[in-house]
Structure 1
Amino acid sequence: MTAVPRLFSILRQGPYLIASVHTALDDSQLVRFQEDLVHRIGADRARGVVIDVAALDVLDSFGSRTLRDVAEMARLRGAVTVIVGIQPDVAFAMVELGMDTGSVLTALDLEEGLVELDRCVAAPPVVPT
């Protein structure tokens, strides 16, 4: 019996969750990833999420929209999201095709993503006057 490799993992590091996508996900797998991550934000009382997509060499419009949606759902649950590891070819294709990550923060790699979370989570909230 051969073990089926996990397509993504969600690990806790202090007040943050680190979600790594290990290979391209089909639409149903992306929805499962979204559901699992949003559930874990509440269960672990996460203040921030890093989504690492470094293993992806392709990101279609559904995947891009799902990442934006996950970040918005995380925000509504009280967590900041940073997407890290977007490959150069993926970034080029996203720009050429008019896809973007909306207002979702991005960083080069996991280390910079964690620094960005620290900066955002430590900053006092802006109160409108």
Structure 2
Amino acid sequence: MSTGPALVSILRQGSTLVASIHTALDDSQMLRFQDDLVRQIGEHRSRGVIIDVAALDVLDSFGTRTLRTIAEMARLRGARTVVVGIQPEVAYSMVQLGTGVGGLTTALDLEDGLALLADLTDSSNGPGPVVSR
């Protein structure tokens, strides 16, 4: 039984997980992606997560909220998250609709995201303690 092309791929690169969303996801697919990614953070003892949304031409409020939730869950599991590849039209729409990324760390593309993540997770200090405010 073929399920068609993958909607999301999650690859491991050292202590970093790189998750690429290949097409728009409905709400249930987005939640399944969230569960899979957070589970894999623990399985691989990941210190960093890159979520690449370059293939998306729309990012609705539920998708944006889910990305923020993933980043917070990853942080609580000891990993930093960087979202990369937000297209100019998507950024414009998000600002116009008031669905900004809030406290998410973003970068232009995968290369910049990996460099930023390397700075955030500094190999000698780790991602730092979890501090509640």
- With normalisation by structure 1, the TM-score equals 0.94
For 1:2 and 1:8, the matched residues in 2 are separated by: 16
Report the residue type matching 1:104 in the other structure.
Answer: L
Report the residue type matching 2:24 in the other structure.
Answer: A
Matched with 1:104 is 104
Query: How far 1:95 sits from its partner (Å)?
Result: 0.4
Kindly tell me the number of residue pairs found equivalent between the two proteins.
128
Percent identity for Structure 1 against Structure 2: 64
Matched with 2:88 is 88
For 2:64 and 2:17, the matched residues in 1 are separated by: 20
For 2:118 and 2:2, the matched residues in 1 are separated by: 40
Gaps of 5+ in 2: none
For 1:100 and 1:121, the matched residues in 2 are separated by: 24
- With normalisation by structure 2, the TM-score equals 0.91
Instruction: Report which stretch shifted further, 29-38 or 93-102.
Output: 93-102
- Write out the 4+ residue segments of structure 1 that deviate beyond 3 Å after TM superposition: 123-126
For 1:21 and 1:2, the matched residues in 2 are separated by: 19
For 2:6 and 2:75, the matched residues in 1 are separated by: 26
Matched with 1:26 is 26
Query: How far 1:59 sits from its partner (Å)?
Result: 0.5
Matched with 1:118 is 118
Query: How far 1:3 sits from its partner (Å)?
Result: 5.3
Matched with 2:60 is 60
Query: How far 1:14 sits from its partner (Å)?
Result: 0.5
For 1:42 and 1:101, the matched residues in 2 are separated by: 24
Q: What RMSD over aligned residues (CA atoms) do the two structures have, in Å?
A: 1.8
Equivalences for 1:11-50 in 2 at 5 Å? 11-50=11-50
Query: How far 1:103 sits from its partner (Å)?
Result: 1.1
